[in-house]
């Protein structure tokens, strides 16, 4: 986790650099609402992970203690190399089944919902993947890979995947044969039939070539990014539950008890026959594909962008202090982040009630000043009162300016 924490500033520097290159080349691969939505999913995933990371670590440590066939030394280079390769092999199967099974796709689909493809897409991660993802790495514990080595190579694997989420790097010749690259990963993020369910490796594309899941990016078939059942929302909370809700609705509607159970573990897209007949789902025609967009005036875009920076800072602070905070404090911090990102999503969608719910968010800062020190999120201090009061007042002024702008446009 420390690797990722230290890398966060570099992530944002590289995103800014790509954004400048995007504007310079006139390619416009960034949209504010889409990027905020992707980064919001990342912030939500990170803060949720502070609560759920123990699931994977505890089960791994338990398996290492009781099921390990070997005791590999943590100070040997060959163990690190073996662990790095083995981790990517396990990741390949988690990633592949994450596309092929309903219950796993419900978690992983968050990463694929963006209809853009840029470095901000990398940080668009699930908040529910920790529930089942740990299962796929247990073979490493059985082999005897030390916990420190496991955590480290997991972070290195994740860091490698950052740079491949760009459209500014073309094919890389021989490198394409062995490693995941921007080109073959662009194909992975496509919803075109040609590219569907291909290129699952995290670092090595060799697994895909070995197991028959490789597809080269074809210049004659431009990639259309996104998922075949569009999210059509800028809300990161809905992004994380959308497919779960669809599965639950289908399980509830079918008359077959067997189908109510097996729908969760069937191939992605499988639905009970009676439900599919009564509640058909139509897939969009890619020849007429239009990206999801909600008109929003520039003032409100700036307001949302500045408010989002507050939640990046809060999420980073929670990451940095997580090991010193109680579970209650982490829960409160997560709740504040989730509530705020939900409201910003509502504003980006320009809901009729967006301004009212934003006022409610600002008003919730008052009890937060009392509750946060009580649970240990931060110490009691007059500065906390002054800071939150000042922030809320300035936000209220900005919100009033947005309302005035909307009123003038409407008149």
- Ramachandran area for residue 199 (φ above 0: left; ψ -120 to 50: alpha; else beta): left
Q: Both ends of the chain: CA-CA distance in Å?
A: 51
In whole angstroms, what is the distance from residue 283 CA to residue 277 CA? 15
What is the longest distance spanned by two Cα atoms in the chain? 74
pLDDT in tens, 172-198: 999 999 999 999 999 999 999 999 999
Q: What is the mean pLDDT of residues 51-67?
A: 90
Q: What is the average pLDDT value for the chain, to the nearest integer?
A: 94
- What does R_g of the chain's alpha carbons equal in angstroms? 23
pLDDT classification of 233: cutoffs 50, 70, 90: very high
Q: What is the mean pLDDT of residues 372-398?
A: 89
pLDDT exceeds cutoff 50 at 409: no
Q: What is the mean pLDDT of residues 268-290?
A: 93
On whether the CB atoms of residues 59 and 140 are closer than 8 A, the answer is no
pLDDT classification of 408: cutoffs 50, 70, 90: very low
pLDDT in tens, 78-136: 999 999 999 999 999 999 999 999 999 999 999 999 999 999 999 999 999 999 999 99
From the number of C-beta atoms within 10 Å of its C-beta (0-12, 13-18, 19+), residue 16 rates as exposed
Q: What is the mean pLDDT of residues 198-206?
A: 98
pLDDT exceeds cutoff 70 at 2: no
This prediction has a pTM of 0.93
pLDDT classification of 291: cutoffs 50, 70, 90: very high
In whole angstroms, what is the distance from residue 245 CA to residue 193 CA? 25
Which residues have C-beta within 8 Å of that of residue 251, sequence separation ≥ 6? 259, 260, 261, 263, 264
pLDDT in tens, 334-375: 999 999 999 999 999 999 999 999 999 999 988 998 899 999
* Polymer length of the chain: 411
Name which of 268, 119, 246 is nearest 191 in CA terms: 268
pLDDT classification of 404: cutoffs 50, 70, 90: low
Confidence (pLDDT) at 192: 96
């Amino acid at each position: 986790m420390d690797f990722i924490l230290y890398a966060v500033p570099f992530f944002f520097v590289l995103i800014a650099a790509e954004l400048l290159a995007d504007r310079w080349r006139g390619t416009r691969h960034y949209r504010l609402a889409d990027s905020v939505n992707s980064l919001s999913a990342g912030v939500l995933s990170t803060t949720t992970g502070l609560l759920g990371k123990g699931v994977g670590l505890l089960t791994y440590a338990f398996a290492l203690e009781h099921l390990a066939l070997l005791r590999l030394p943590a100070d040997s280079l060959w163990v690190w190399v073996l662990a790095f390769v083995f981790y990517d092999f396990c990741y390949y199967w988690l990633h592949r089944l994450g596309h092929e099974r309903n219950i796993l796709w419900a978690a992983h689909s968050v990463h694929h919902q963006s209809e853009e493809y840029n470095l901000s897409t990398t940080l668009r991660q699930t908040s529910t993947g920790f529930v089942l993802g740990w299962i796929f790495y247990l073979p490493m514990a059985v082999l005897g890979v030390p916990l420190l080595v496991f955590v480290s190579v997991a972070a290195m694997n994740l860091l490698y995947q950052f740079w491949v989420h760009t459209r500014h790097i073309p094919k890389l010749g021989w490198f394409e044969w062995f490693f995941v690259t921007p080109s073959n990963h662009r194909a992975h993020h496509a919803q075109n039939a040609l590219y569907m369910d291909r290129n699952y490796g995290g670092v090595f594309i060799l697994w895909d070539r070995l197991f028959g899941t490789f597809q080269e990016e074809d210049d004659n078939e431009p990639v259309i990014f996104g998922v075949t059942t569009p999210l059509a929302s800028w809300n990161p909370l809905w992004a994380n539950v959308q497919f779960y809700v669809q599965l639950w609705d289908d399980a509830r509607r079918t008359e077959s008890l067997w189908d109510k159970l097996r729908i969760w573990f069937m191939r992605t897209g499988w639905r009970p026959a009676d439900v599919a007949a009564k509640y058909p789902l139509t897939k969009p025609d890619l020849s007429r594909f239009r990206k999801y967009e909600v008109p929003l005036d520039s003032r409100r875009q700036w307001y949302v962008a500045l408010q989002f920076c507050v939640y990046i800072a809060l999420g980073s602070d929670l990451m940095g202090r997580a090991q010193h905070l109680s579970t209650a404090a982490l829960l409160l911090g997560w709740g504040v982040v989730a509530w705020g990102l939900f409201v910003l999503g509502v504003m980006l969608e320009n809901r009729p009630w967006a301004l009212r719910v934003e006022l409610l968010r600002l008003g919730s800062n008052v009890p937060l000043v009392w509750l946060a020190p009580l649970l240990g999120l931060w110490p009691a201090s007059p500065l906390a009162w002054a800071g939150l009061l000042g922030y809320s007042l300035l936000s209220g002024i900005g919100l009033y300016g947005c309302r005035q702008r909307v009123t003038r446009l409407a008149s």
